[in-house]
């Protein structure tokens, strides 16, 4: 009797690499926010964009492939 393994639980090397990149990006973002105690308001856009694209791995442009 063999035990079935759910394929969704198996992480590919590309998924693992992307997960590690996202963790690294989150660390960099935290360091940037910590180093700049009084950032200009314009940096909020950069922080949000960086977090969305690099940490959450969302597309840069939603309407493009």
What are 4-33's pLDDT values in tens digits? 555 567 889 988 888 898 899 889 888 888
Give the domain extent around 21.
Answer: 12-55
Whether residue 44 is contained in a domain is answered as: yes
What is the reported pLDDT for 65? 57
b/e sequence 14-41, b meaning 16+ C-beta within 10 Å = eeeeeeeeeeebeeebeeeeeeeeeeee
Is residue 42 helix, strand or coil? coil
Whether residue 3 is contained in a domain is answered as: no
Crossing angle for the helix pair 43-50 and 13-35, nearest 10 degrees?
160
Whether residue 21 is contained in a domain is answered as: yes
With a threshold of 0.75, does the pTM exceed it? no
Domain count, the chain: 1
Whether residue 27 is contained in a domain is answered as: yes
């Amino acid at each position: 009797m063999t035990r079935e393994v759910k394929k969704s639980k198996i992480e590919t090397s590309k998924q693992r690499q992307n997960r590690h990149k996202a963790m690294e990006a989150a660390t960099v973002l935290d360091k940037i926010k910590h180093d700049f105690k009084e950032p200009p308001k314009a940096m909020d856009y950069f922080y949000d964009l960086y977090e969305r694209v690099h940490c959450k791995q969302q597309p840069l442009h939603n309407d493009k492939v």
